[in-house]
């Protein structure tokens, strides 16, 4: 017991102070919100769009990048001769509407908080049932990290629960495979009204690398209504936390990305 106490004193404060303080440092290889340089795309060049494995890039008038499909593989950045697309360090990626994930030179709109009615009903807590609808466990792992002492998700009143009947909503990962679709629907139906749905990761938003495959359904929205989209492959725990806090109004001023 004495050794444990001494070790804890040496470790000092280990929980990130975000959002009241600066965000924790991110790895050198971290890829955050892409930045698109307006007018930099060479005329007739399609290298980025042709290289993208999920068709996340469109070239209709100007470059558009769908963060809901993006795997953050950075192939587009590597092949672009003019560096019209580059990956920045911004961890703020979550959006309330699916269309708000489409990024252009002007940036994109971040998630907004729940309605006043929902916030009154939920009070100061949010209980979520996590459903892995065919995921590879990468998004699941980064979600679980939020329960550790480094992040301490419970200090915000957010908890993961074992039963949908005890939940205020679902946090879904994975592309929603054919086998998991009925289970996801039944789990959603078991959550009491009013309820919310959060899609975490490219698979849960669009199908990710499995987009269009016959054995999956291209994300959670194929089966249940989605209130918050958190892109990434997988999204960093900081990105997930930022999205959840925006939903609860703990980060009240959404900032335009880009």
> Residue ranges per domain, the chain?
116-247
Topology classification of domain 116-247: Rossmann fold (3.40.50)
Residue 63: which H helix or E strand, with range?
A: strand 62-66
- According to the per-residue pLDDT averaged within each range, which of 40-44, 100-104, 109-113 is highest? 100-104
Residue ranges of alpha helices (H) inside the chain are 2-11, 47-51, 75-79, 116-122, 138-144, 181-190, 202-206, 237-247
* Percent of the chain whose predicted confidence (pLDDT) is above 70: 92
Q: pLDDT tier at 129 (50, 70, 90 boundaries)?
A: very high
- What distance in Å separates the CA atoms of residue 205 and residue 226, rounded to the nearest whole number? 9
pLDDT, tens digit, 9 for 90 and up, residues 9-33: 666 667 898 999 999 999 999 999 9
pLDDT, tens digit, 9 for 90 and up, residues 184-195: 999 999 999 999
pLDDT of residue 257 exceeding 60, the answer is no
- What distance in Å separates the CA atoms of residue 199 and residue 190, rounded to the nearest whole number? 18
* Higher pLDDT, residue 83 or 222: 222
DSSP 147-202: GSTTT-GGGGTEEE-S-GGG-SEEEEES--BTTTHHHHHHHHHHSPSS-EEEEESH
Rounded to a whole number of angstroms, the CA Rg of the chain reads: 19
pLDDT at 253: 58
Task: Retrieve residue 120's tokens.
Answer: 């009154």
pLDDT at 258: 43
Is residue 27 within 8 Å of residue 142, measured between CB atoms?
no
- What distance in Å separates the CA atoms of residue 90 and residue 38, rounded to the nearest whole number? 18
């Amino acid at each position: 017991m004495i050794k444990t106490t001494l070790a804890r004193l040496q470790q000092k404060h280990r929980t990130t102070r975000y959002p009241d303080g600066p965000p924790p440092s991110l790895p050198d290889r971290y890829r955050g919100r892409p930045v698109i340089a307006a007018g930099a795309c060479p005329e007739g060049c399609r290298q980025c769009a042709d290289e993208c494995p999920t068709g996340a890039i469109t070239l209709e008038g100007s470059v558009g990048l769908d963060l809901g499909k993006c795997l953050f593989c950075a192939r587009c950045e590597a092949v672009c001769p003019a560096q019209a697309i580059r990956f920045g360090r911004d961890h703020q990626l979550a959006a309330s509407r699916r269309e708000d994930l489409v990024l252009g030179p002007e940036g994109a709109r971040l998630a907004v908080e729940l309605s006043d009615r929902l916030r009154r009903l939920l009070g100061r807590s949010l209980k979520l049932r996590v459903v892995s609808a065919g995921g590879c466990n990468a998004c699941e792992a980064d979600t679980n990290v939020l329960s550790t002492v480094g992040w301490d998700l419970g200090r915000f009143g957010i908890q993961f629960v074992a039963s949908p009947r005890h939940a205020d909503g679902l946090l879904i990962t994975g592309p929603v495979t054919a086998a998991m679709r009925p289970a996801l629907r039944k789990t959603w139906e078991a959550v009491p009204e009013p309820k919310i749905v959060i899609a975490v990761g490219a698979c849960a938003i669009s199908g990710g690398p499995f987009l269009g495959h016959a054995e999956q359904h291209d994300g959670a929205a194929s089966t249940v209504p989605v209130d918050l989209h958190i892109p990434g492959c997988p999204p960093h725990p900081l990105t997930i936390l930022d999205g959840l806090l925006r939903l609860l109004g703990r980060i009240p001023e959404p900032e335009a990305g880009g």
